[in-house]
Structure 1
């Protein structure tokens, strides 16, 4: 009777920085003990859990994996993101320890691309504003003009799995599609690769689909926003740090930017009183572009497989 508990206790640990993981991913990791950190773990909680359980892997859902978290487990071999963006992981600290950092590349591409288009269309057609006005008893048919996208220019920053899907819809809608991606040697048919400054300046709709790095932080600031076409739309389903939020708020208030659809922010969760919450022509969602039932399974399975690929 004592052999089974002894065997269970000796299993290597995987720390999940969240409260749950798709059952398909849990099944893949059945040979390991999973320790869940809860819905919103902070650094101190993650350090304590890493010290206590000495995980060989961390699957990152929420929270930041700092150098302190990494150093807390002498057995750590791989950090696997439950998603595509690894900017919440101190990759340099991991590299110094020889710890692999992996992302679930493409696992939520369809979900995020669809959400990007939900925001683009909502901005172009003013869907939330018209809905609110209707509920208030107004009928704005005589005064409202939506933006027709056919023939306009869609600019993309990033042409990976998400950007390419977003681009394909733009082509299907009859838009001119331009993109900047320093890692793309070529582009799919119907998409023109251009320098970043030209993509920003020529876009009627600018959609961001790139990782956040120290080199592109605040890529859209006062200076670059000033180069955009009058009445352009800005959509960000990537990382909030790509945009200087104060500069974008000014451009939205002045009407220089027609509308913005934002799913990610410099600091999350967004706090009450944030400037965006008082601006009518910005559409906000709480970083849920990749949150669908299918993507939840896909990201969990990809994260689990990335762990297994390293641990063997």
Structure 2
């Protein structure tokens, strides 16, 4: 075992800029697809003072395998894969790289929205098959349409500015948001269902909002809704969404996250018209990779430094 304190990374790599910040620590990589048993074994072997979370979940068993653990730092903004009550009970601080991937995810949301409205994937497939659908196809013009955003953090606000620039009406629901920009009209959740031509999800997953997109809420939406999700798959009742797409209540769904990841094979969405799918890569750009790694490293160092000063 190294004389340096250890940082466990639940992935195979970090940006070199993040590694440089952690020069006083031994960095332990768990590999591309770390499982809980792997992380427990590595925690027992190296007793890390910090864990940087990219893939997989951090459970109480993993925390208990590392008595020296002081901080769990998410390489991204969503901390739903970390058992936060268990961490709090053990005096372990949980941090997130809030805003580090905001530009990347907002751009992915816009790409999915445009893909849904303009039938980009469908028309590409038709063109490659030799078809010319100009006489029969009509896409959706987004200018003048209403988009409802659920979650108005860094990503939601950035996406709102993009939609506003396209002359969309932007309404948003977030009970925790304050000082909203003028381009967002704050509304209650019921107005999101009632008034939106498109809905985009930008909120964290919590026990309270799990499966918030379900048969009941979708039935309260306008017919031919466009739905975009670059947040967490657990926000959506997937069988209910499939039924809504098949019935036409939802015209098309652009999804970057799923209830189980990696996506199960086969999946109920596979081969279904009305779905534009991507493998949770909204935050995966070269710039975001660096930004998230640096932020995760800085958050880890900040917590450890504060504890050293206090101790």
TM range (shorter): over 0.9
Q: Is the 8 A contact 1:186 1:193 kept in 2?
A: no
User: Distance between the aligned counterparts of 1:163 and 1:78, measured in 2?
Assistant: 27
For residues 126-158 of structure 1, what are the alpha-carbon distances to aligned partners after superposition, in whole Å with 9 as ceiling and x for unaligned? 000000000011111111010000000011001
Runs (5+) with no aligned partner, structure 2: 306-311
1:126 aligns with 2:119: yes
Match of 1:212 in 2: 205
Q: Is the 8 A contact 1:54 1:75 kept in 2?
A: yes
1:163 Cα offset (Å): 0.2
State the aligned residue count. Answer: 305
Match of 2:109 in 1: 116
SS of residue paired to 2:116: helix
Question: Which residue of the other structure, out of 175, 190, 213, is the alignment partner of 1:182?
Answer: 175
Question: Which residue of the other structure, out of 294, 299, 308, is the alignment partner of 1:301?
Answer: 294
1:254 Cα offset (Å): 1.2
User: Distance between the aligned counterparts of 2:303 and 2:79, measured in 1?
Assistant: 17
| Cα root mean square deviation, aligned | 0.8
User: Distance between the aligned counterparts of 2:215 and 2:172, measured in 1?
Assistant: 21
1:249 Cα offset (Å): 0.4
User: Distance between the aligned counterparts of 2:195 and 2:239, measured in 1?
Assistant: 22
Map 1:234-249 → 2, pairs under 5 A: 234-249=227-242
Match of 1:255 in 2: 248
User: Distance between the aligned counterparts of 2:272 and 2:221, measured in 1?
Assistant: 20
Q: Is the 8 A contact 1:252 1:279 kept in 2?
A: no
Match of 2:89 in 1: 96
1:287 aligns with 2:286: no
1:17 aligns with 2:13: no
Match of 1:272 in 2: 265
